[in-house]
Each structure stands twice: as C-alpha cells, then as structure tokens.
Amino acid sequence: MNKSLRYIALLAILPLLTTGLGTDYFTDADAKKSKGTGIAQYGSSTGICGLDLCSNYPGGRAGWEADQGTTTTPVAPVEEEKMEAMEETHDQEHMEKEHMQETMMEESEDLTEADLGSVLRLSRANVPATIPLHQGYYDGGDVYYIITDSSDPTHADIITEQQGWQVELAPLLKNTPDEALSKVYLFTNGIEGDGVHGYQGQVFASTPAQADVYSALTSHIHVMWNDGVSPRVLDSEAMIVKAAENNELTLTEVDVVLNMPQIIWPDGQMMVKEDKTLTDTTPYGGGQVLDIDTEEMNVTFIAHRGWGPDGRTIYYIVTDATPSGSAGMMGVVSSPTSASLIANSAAVDLYQFRNGLEGTGPLGFQPGIAAGAPGDTNYSPMWRIFMIGWDNPENAQLLETIDDMNAYREAGLIDIGIARPMDSDHIVNCPFIDPFQ
C-alpha cells in the first residue's frame, strides 16, 4: 500500500486535526441549554448504540446488543437459516474491520505527525470565492457591494442573470424587522448603469461608518423618473428626496429584502487578509477578504466548508456580525442592528463545536452543522449561533447532520447552548454560496 493510500485509509480511524480561533471566542457557560429552532424538518432521532449511531452499526441496535451480550431490545423472529446468515455476515464484517485497522496501523508506523495532519483535516475546508462587485452611492461617495440573497424569487432571478453569479433565495428574510434593515433606492428608469434594474447604481441610506443604523439587509424603494423630466445621476438620499418633493420622481416601497454587504464605502472598506495563502487550517481571524478589485469589479472571499442539515456539503462566507468583539476577531464589519434578529424567524440556527474532535471548524474542532441550506424553505444567510459541547470530549464522534446532533443530545452525550460572546446577542451574516461557479 503506497503512502497516499495509507493516508486515506487512516481517515477511518483517526480524528480530524486542525487549528482555529481560541476557545474563548464564544462564551456559553451561562447560556441556557436549548434545542434551537428552525430544525423541524430534520428533527427525528436515529438512536444511539454505545457512543455511535445504531444506523452505523452492523446489524443495527440488535447487532450492537448482541455484541454487548444484552437482550433488552427484542429481535423480531426470523427463519433460523436467515439468522445464521446474518450472524455469519456480521462476524465476517467484524473480522475484516479488525484486520483493516491492524493493517493500517502497521502500515502507518513510518508516518510523521505532520504527514497525518495534512490529510486528516476536512479537505478543501477553505477555498477562494470570487463574487461580482456592484457600484452605488452614499452621500455623494462611491459604495462597492455584493448581492448574495433575496427574499423574492423574481429579484433573485433578475440579479443572478445580470451579474452571472447565483443569488440564493432566502424567503425568511421577508420577516426581518425594520430595525435590522437599511434603506436602499433602486432606479427603474433614467440613466443606464449597473443598478439592479439596469439603470444608475443604487443609493444607500447608510454605510458601516454609521454602525448604529447600517445593515447589510436592505429594504427597497423604487425610484422612477416622471414623464417630461430629464433624468440625471443622483448620488445621495438627500438628492432623491428633494427631487421627489419637486415632483420629478415617484418613490414606491417594495416588499423585497436583499442581502447587500458593503465591501468599500466612503472612508472605509472590509479588512483584507495579509496572508493570502489558503490551507485547510487557515484561521478565521485576520479578515475574510483575500482581494478587492474595483477594475475587474469583483471581490474574493474565503469560503468555509461545513455541513447542511442533512449532511450535504455547504460553503459560506462571513461579511458582518454582532457583537463588535466577534466581528473584530473575524475581521468583518460590525453590525449591531443584527442583534434584533436573535429571536426573529429571519435568522436560522447554526451549530458549532467548542470541544471534541479537532477539525476545521472556527474554534479548531469539527465543522459546524446548519439547520437550513440553499433550496430549503428555512434557509437564511443570517445565523443564530449555538455551541455544542461533548460531556466527555475524549469519546467524541463525528456528527454531520441535525439528526446526528439530536440523537446524541437525547442520549445525554452532548449539550447545546446559545453563544453569547461578550454576554451579548450574537448574529453572523454568513451567506451560503457555491464557490466553484
């Protein structure tokens, strides 16, 4: 067996290894134990056999109990020859598994710790994701931003086609309270340009420099030039309001919420990571942006890998967060207005691990599990963070689904508490994206 094959084989028996932010990033010691919300469609329990799921054990619960010498759960009667065949198959599988493990351990004696670490981490845990930039205005200055999510399928389709990059449908965003929204003006006629509807760029009512009112989640006002008026570029909310007062414009509120994180704004921009070399162990600190190119009109984020509710692979970027301490640690925009989502259905639960298997998650343990993913009716880019802790970290198992999490919680092997860094409500804007499109 060559060295690379031995590496792959070892994945079956050794834990994931990596580094990340220190474990003091989240403080949930005082948090209430919680089952979380937004997981109804993935809430069934699969049962525990020892420290493993029964569904993963040869023969299921009956097979596990037979190995333990117990009969607490009766086995349905079967024909004698079928039972013998089942037992023979199970014995054979058990012997093959033991032989494989022994062989792998013998073959791995010459491997160094560095060799193991390079392959035992989740592969492609951090990858670059290049996203189209748009140009708009705030108070006469330029704003560069991205559009990742829409509460409305029509706008999602229009913007996806316009920018050649997928805008995810996030129906839950329509429930966002007013205090977590910032206002944006979209032109529906007039001067042609890069705006959502093909005209001049959007005009924002705030930027991250106005932290007390800024939000990446935007409520929309359509701006239409009236007949007989010569259109011109308007680059501030004050100019739009004045033109409307002069009956040059008609303003119409639209029941649509877009996720439009700002990348550059007058006198500020998102932090750009100094070390742009990505590995599976690149830490979360020091910024989430690798490059901003206003000539090519794109921005490159780090996309982090995790699991959707049913175990599917997902990738997400991080654009802003609250409280400010957490935002600063990750190198993203501070957005205090997002705290109003802590008990709102516009936010969905995301479960991270504070101990257990070492891995590529934000705290240096296994990657997290989200309660929703693109395509689900309960998907949202706004995440309410919960922390999973193993009662006995040395016996931690790999969890990949909401079902896994529920089963281990019901068995009393893990506890779950809402994350409250700095004793504050914690919401993170993590749009789920396809980094390979």
146: containing domain: 127-265
Residues facing residue 128 across a β-bridge: 302
Amino acid letter, 344:
N
Report the 10 Å Cβ neighbour count for 45: 15
206 part of a folded domain: yes
Confidence class for position 18, pLDDT limits 50, 70, 90: very low
Q: How many residues does the chain have?
A: 437
Residue 374 is encoded by which pair of tokens? 């693109």
Lowest mean pLDDT among 12-21, 41-50, 109-118, 308-317: 12-21
| Helices within 184-272 (DSSP H only) | 237-245
Segment 198-221, tens digit of pLDDT: 999 999 999 999 999 999 999 999
Q: What is the mean pLDDT of residues 25-36?
A: 38
DSSP 180: G
Contact 240, 203 (CB under 8 A): yes
Residue 277 — φ and ψ, nearest 5°? -80, 115
147 part of a folded domain: yes
- State the Cα–Cα distance between residues 356 and 343, nearest whole angstrom: 28
Segment 230-257, tens digit of pLDDT: 999 999 999 999 999 999 999 999 999 9
178 part of a folded domain: yes
Exposed (0-12), middle (13-18) or buried (19+): which is 130, by Cβ within 10 Å?
Answer: middle
Helix (H), strand (E) at residue 153:
helix 153-163
Residue 307 is encoded by which pair of tokens? 């699991």
237 part of a folded domain: yes
227 part of a folded domain: yes
157 part of a folded domain: yes
Closest CA to 363 of 329, 315, 403: 329
Q: What is the mean pLDDT of residues 191-198?
A: 92
Q: Output the DSSP codes for 255-310.
A: EEEEE--EEEETTEEPPBPS-----TT--STT-SEEEEETTTTEEEEEEEEEE-TT
Per-residue pLDDT at 422: 86
Does residue 30 register a pLDDT over 80?
A: no
Q: What is the mean pLDDT of residues 402-429?
A: 95
171 part of a folded domain: yes
429 part of a folded domain: no
Does residue 12 register a pLDDT over 50?
A: no
Residue in the structure block whose two tokens are 């995810």:
168
Does residue 104 register a pLDDT over 50?
A: no
Task: Please state the domain count of the chain.
Answer: 1
Structure pTM? 0.77
Residues facing residue 416 across a β-bridge: 388
Helix (H), strand (E) at residue 155:
helix 153-163
Phi-psi category of residue 98: left, alpha or beta, with phi > 0 → left and psi -120 to 50 → alpha: alpha
Confidence class for position 40, pLDDT limits 50, 70, 90: very low
Neighbouring residues of 112: CB distance < 8 A, sequence distance ≥ 6: none
